[in-house]
Amino acid sequence: MDCFGRKTMKIKESLLTKYMKMILGIPGQLDEYRKQEMQRICNNAFVITWLYIVTATMFFMLYGYLHPFNGIMMFSMSNVIFLFFVSVYMKLAARKSHLTKEEVSIEDYNKAKKKILLLSIKDFILFVVIFNLLDAILNFVFDNDNILNQIIHPKKGFTILIFFGTFVAIGNYISRLHRMKKMK
């Protein structure tokens, strides 16, 4: 059964295929068209990433020779920014190729909405927990604070985590709801 209660035939997928489906937001089983489009998008992203790595490494090798600390910091930040842009490209390309649509029968629509709500609640909890742990680890590394105390009583408080977690959960709920398509 899939996430909407329909019986489906299970096809063995490799771990890499599962990760690619997760990153691109492709629901359900892969047919031949979806598989080819997914591979095309990932190949394009790989070529773009390879070109970025080559040029950025050459640039930051030269710049890092003169200013080592600044070179490392700029290289780290440029990698994060580049990862964001490649992720956005992959998501938009998957949406443009209609890979992210989930077809749901009218009878299963309410069940699917409930499943999406539960997934959004899970996203909220994961966001709050992961960013609380990340904040505690960073405070431990840079400020030498007690990590357990930071997990229980974060410096910034739980309010900001709950606010942004709610923002992420609502955004994911709306995004998943728009990907659903009613079938007759």
Give the domain range for residue 29.
1-100
What is the three-class DSSP state of 27? coil
Distance CA(31)–CA(101), nearest Å, equals: 13
- Clarify whether residues 22 and 113 are in a common domain: no
Distance from the first to the final alpha carbon of the chain: 20
- Clarify whether residues 57 and 109 are in a common domain: no
Torsion, CA 134, CA 137, CA 142, CA 148, rounded to 10: 130
DSSP 5: S
What is the three-class DSSP state of 61? helix
Task: Please say whether the beta carbons of 112 and 182 come within 8 A.
Answer: no
Distance CA(79)–CA(157), nearest Å, equals: 29
Run means of pLDDT, 10 residues per run, the chain, 184 residues: 57 84 83 90 95 92 87 89 93 88 84 90 91 85 80 77 89 86 78
- Clarify whether residues 107 and 96 are in a common domain: no
Task: Please say whether the beta carbons of 87 and 23 come within 8 A.
Answer: yes
Query: In degrees rounded to 5, what are phi and psi of residue 131?
Result: -75, -30
- Clarify whether residues 148 and 164 are in a common domain: yes
pLDDT at 11: 67
pLDDT at 7: 58
- Clarify whether residues 92 and 109 are in a common domain: no
Q: Which H helix or E strand runs over 102?
A: strand 102-105
- Clarify whether residues 42 and 76 are in a common domain: yes
pLDDT at 125: 92
Alpha helices, H only, the chain: 15-24, 32-66, 68-96, 109-143, 147-152, 158-179
Q: Which H helix or E strand runs over 171?
A: helix 158-179
Distances in Å between the Cα of 7 and the Cα atoms of 2, 4, 138 are: 6, 9, 45
Domains: count for the chain: 2
